[in-house]
A and B are shown apart, each in its own frame.
Chain A
């Protein structure tokens, strides 16, 4: 396997009951790549994206993320999901949390959980050390709970400022517009410092006048070097941002190439047909 690949998908299959949705998807993605995924509705784009972070358990094949096969049931998927952000069509901000809490919740809770675990481990190491000649080292815990919360808050405030919503920190999501919600959802993903972000039709649920602000933010994040996979119907956006476009059709990647190759000179008749219909 090539070391440059942050993601390597091999023979990925997914069935829902008798319906085989993914019929063997293979792809290598290098760090920093921006992949746009296009294709007709129901061809398996969302399923493909959701298999990458195992929101859907693959029925077959492998998903190597930094050389760890996420499709392996023994892998602790939660640790890897922290590194794989996901942005949903329906935003999915936590309704019972304020905007800043939405951004802080995962970083804080997951760090606290790790510290708790480390403390428990240290306790047993200490007990064990009483009987050991070669004392085992303890896990260093460098931050107090208050510091973790403060850091997360500072980071969340910075992110909110970046999207110009610092005055919305303490309100609940129900008071935000769709575009604002989606921008918060994107910085919520960024707050985990992920290595990859998966976008599943991030602008499809938005009123037309709000599409621009969300696409602009995604472009910004892309320009900062984030690796991303974006399922989208915004062909202009795909052409502008993506370095590679995948055309999916009935559960496979039917054609892929640079935006110029796919949009200006498609080879597969299905691609030609699809583009004719949407452009």
Chain B
């Protein structure tokens, strides 16, 4: 115990931990943002009317995309991205950037499914009223349908964020120092793992509880705003 705190505080272990926490947060937050943006686009493609050829082609592409990212573990996606694809195209990117991209792409596949059911839960009359006023499909979706579906799926989006935060613990596979890696380094330095790992678990618990509380708060805000 003392060993841990000595290393953690006086020998700058907390700095490593804070940097790790920052990496964890960056990957989860930016991953979620990319996931929501891209996932929304994919969801719209998948619910779009399919009379014309282009929507059908896009739909097939999106289906393959979702199957690909949901059908493989995220670690494998990280490894393939970092050690196979990047070298193949001769690009060098920071591990955190790669992690953000892969987390974003992966999350998009899951968010698209949530968003699709969210869109389908919005009464079709909302879209029809917007279209009847002359709004193009994309405008009607963006201004009317998507905001309502996001509200509907806010709890599931919150869960997705929590999953992302926890999944960041695998990024040390591509040499990123996240919070997990940071505490392992502290353990390595002191040959004492019990306290660091318990402390690590506590950090994740606090993070997850914080996010859950935040989501609850947002939900309540949204509910209230439409009752006035």
The interface of chain A, by Cβ under 8 A from chain B, is: 53, 55, 57, 78-82, 84-86, 88, 90, 92-97, 105-106, 109-110, 113, 170-172, 174-175, 185, 188-189, 192
Contact = CB atoms under 8 A, between A and B. Distances in A.
Given A55-B128, A96-B144, A106 B133 contact: yes
Interface in B11-63: 51
A86 B143 CA distance: 19
A174 B227 CA distance: 7
B125 A92 contact: yes
B189 interface: no
Nearest to B225: A172
Contacts, number: 75
Contact of B128 (A84, A92, A97, A170): A92
B210 interface: no
A93 to B, nearest CB: 7
Interface stretch (B84-92, B134-142, B173-181, B198-206): B134-142
A105 B126 contact: no
A53 B139 CA distance: 18
A109 B134 CA distance: 10
Contacts of A171: 228
B148 A96 contact: yes
Contact of A95 (B128, B132, B226): B226
B70 interface: no
B130 interface: yes
Nearest to A86: B132
Contact of A109 (B123, B132, B139, B225): B139
Given A82-B134, A109-B143, A88 B126 contact: no
A188 B225 CA distance: 22
B131 interface: yes
Contacts of A80: 134
A92 B148 contact: no
B226 A81 contact: no
Contacts of A192: 133-134
Interface residues of B, number: 23
B227 A78 contact: no
A40 B128 CA distance: 24
A62 B113 CA distance: 39
A166 B153 CA distance: 33
B151 interface: yes
B228 A96 contact: no
A266 B142 CA distance: 49
A109 B141 CA distance: 13
B132 A53 contact: yes
Contacts of A172: 225-228
Interface in B87-130: 123, 125-126, 128-130
6 contacts: A55-B132, A86-B132, A95-B148, A105-B133, A109-B143, A172-B228
B226 A174 contact: yes
A44 B143 CA distance: 31
Contact of B129 (A82, A92, A113, A175): A92
Given A78-B136, A105-B143, A96 B151 contact: yes
Given A78-B136, A96-B144, A172-B228, 4 more contacts: A85-B133, A94-B144, A106-B135, A172-B225
A37 B176 CA distance: 69
A158 B210 CA distance: 46
Nearest to B147: A96
Contact of B131 (A55, A96, A105, A175): A55
B128 A81 contact: no
Nearest to A173: B226
B122 to A, nearest CB: 8
Interface string B207-228: 0000000000000000001111
Contact of A110 (B125, B135, B227): B135
A86 B123 CA distance: 17
A234 to B, nearest CB: 21
Contacts of A55: 128, 131-132
A113 B227 contact: no
Contacts of B51: 57
B133 A81 contact: yes
Interface string B140-184: 000110011001000000000000000000000000000000000
